[in-house]
């Protein structure tokens, strides 16, 4: 463990982005305490010791590089290409964090212009991007946007000098080993195959008709709630699978089916096992699960 007197230097650069990850980060409940553990050389919104022009001169390295947005090699910041900036600071940094799905896998901007945009070390699930040769240094915190607590987890571990183990796509296993389905309050409806009648209601599961990717998505949104209180499924909208490299997909609110059977079944479950289980579950009618939980519309 590191001495608390040591403050790693941090630079936060942006590629092609909507700023969503920065805004998510600003919602971290313990942001002031976390920032106090770093010397922030540059961040586009937070107080920092250098401006973008100074950063673009590439005269001083950093311990941690956080990158937000998709990587477009020709895009410029203060007259310098992202290609040059990322190459310089990633070389110097001990840790590189790809904050969000665009920085991790290319995300929405790669889908819009795949010939230009990628993540730092992946384009979708394929190794690619400017840090392809340094993929072991890149921690992918996918999500659209990244959950503030996940960023807090990674940065606090770096500040403390603790190692972060990652999965095959560079995502911390402590955060992405579970499925988004894990901890969802609708699990009983999933088990007994009771559909949600409409979006926004508390009752029913959104998997069968409404496109929920919870059982197919590695994320801990229902274990570490957003703002400590909620998740998409808790407010009655489906998980869009935004932490996976194939995000975004089309028809986010629909479950693709073939003869009423979902084309994709939960990760690790064979289609045969799925059909057997759901066939049995559907043969029971559980009145309690068909009733409204509240009187609200």
In the complex with ligand SF4, which residue's Cβ is closer, 204 or 245?
204
Which residues in this chain contact ligand SF4 in the complex, by CB under 6 A? 180-181, 184, 186-187, 190, 205-207, 212, 214-215, 233, 239
In the complex with ligand SF4, which residue's Cβ is closer, 166 or 206?
206
Residue 257 structure tokens: 């089916």
Measured CA angle at 233 (ends 230, 235), to 5 deg:
60
In the complex with ligand SF4, which residue's Cβ is closer, 120 or 233?
233
3-class DSSP state of 226: strand
Q: How far is the CB of 146 from ligand SF4 (least distance, A)?
A: 19
In the complex with ligand SF4, which residue's Cβ is closer, 119 or 215?
215
3-class DSSP state of 104: helix
**For residues 276 and 295, what is the distance between their CA atoms, to the nearest angstrom?**
35
96, 88, 111: which is closest to 247 by C-alpha?
Answer: 111
**For residues 230 and 226, what is the distance between their CA atoms, to the nearest angstrom?**
5
3-class DSSP state of 230: strand
Q: How far is the CB of 289 from ligand SF4 (least distance, A)?
A: 12
DSSP H or E segment with residue 84? helix 82-92
Q: How far is the CB of 215 from ligand SF4 (least distance, A)?
A: 5
Q: How far is the CB of 195 from ligand SF4 (least distance, A)?
A: 9
DSSP H or E segment with residue 154? helix 148-160
In the complex with ligand SF4, which residue's Cβ is closer, 148 or 214?
214
Q: How far is the CB of 23 from ligand SF4 (least distance, A)?
A: 25
In the complex with ligand SF4, which residue's Cβ is closer, 129 or 143?
143
Q: What is the DSSP letter of 67?
A: E
Q: How far is the CB of 184 from ligand SF4 (least distance, A)?
A: 3
Tell me the C-alpha to C-alpha distance, in Å, between residue 197 and each of 91, 200, 201. 52, 9, 8
């Amino acid at each position: 463990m590191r001495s608390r007197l040591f403050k790693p230097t941090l630079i936060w650069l942006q590629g092609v982005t909507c700023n969503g990850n920065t805004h998510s980060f600003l919602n971290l409940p313990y942001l002031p305490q976390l920032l106090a553990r770093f010397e922030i050389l540059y961040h586009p919104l937070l107080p920092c010791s250098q401006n973008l022009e100074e950063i673009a001169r590439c005269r001083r390295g950093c311990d941690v590089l956080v990158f937000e947005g998709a990587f477009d090699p020709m895009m410029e910041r203060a007259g310098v290409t992202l290609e040059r900036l990322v190459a310089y600071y990633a070389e110097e940094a001990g840790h590189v964090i790809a904050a969000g799905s665009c920085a991790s896998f290319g995300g929405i901007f790669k889908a819009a212009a795949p010939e230009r945009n990628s993540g730092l070390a992946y384009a979708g699930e394929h190794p690619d991007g400017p840090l392809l040769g340094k993929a072991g240094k890149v921690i992918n915190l996918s999500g659209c946007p990244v959950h503030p607590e996940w960023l807090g987890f990674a940065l606090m571990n770096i500040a403390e000098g603790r190692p972060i183990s990652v999965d095959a796509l560079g995502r911390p296993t402590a955060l992405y080993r579970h499925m988004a389905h894990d901890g969802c309050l609708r699990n009983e409806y999933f088990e007994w195959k009771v559909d949600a009648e409409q979006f926004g209601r508390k009752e029913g599961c959104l998997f069968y008709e409404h496109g929920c990717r919870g059982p197919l998505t590695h994320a801990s949104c229902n274990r570490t709630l957003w703002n400590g209180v909620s998740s998409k499924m808790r407010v009655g909208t489906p998980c869009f699978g935004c932490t996976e490299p194939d995000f975004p997909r089309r028809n986010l609110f629909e479950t693709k089916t073939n003869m009423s059977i979902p084309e994709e079944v939960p990760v690790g479950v064979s289609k045969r096992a799925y059909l057997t289980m759901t066939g049995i579950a559907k043969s029971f009618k559980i009145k309690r699960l068909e009733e409204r939980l509240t009187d609200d519309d």
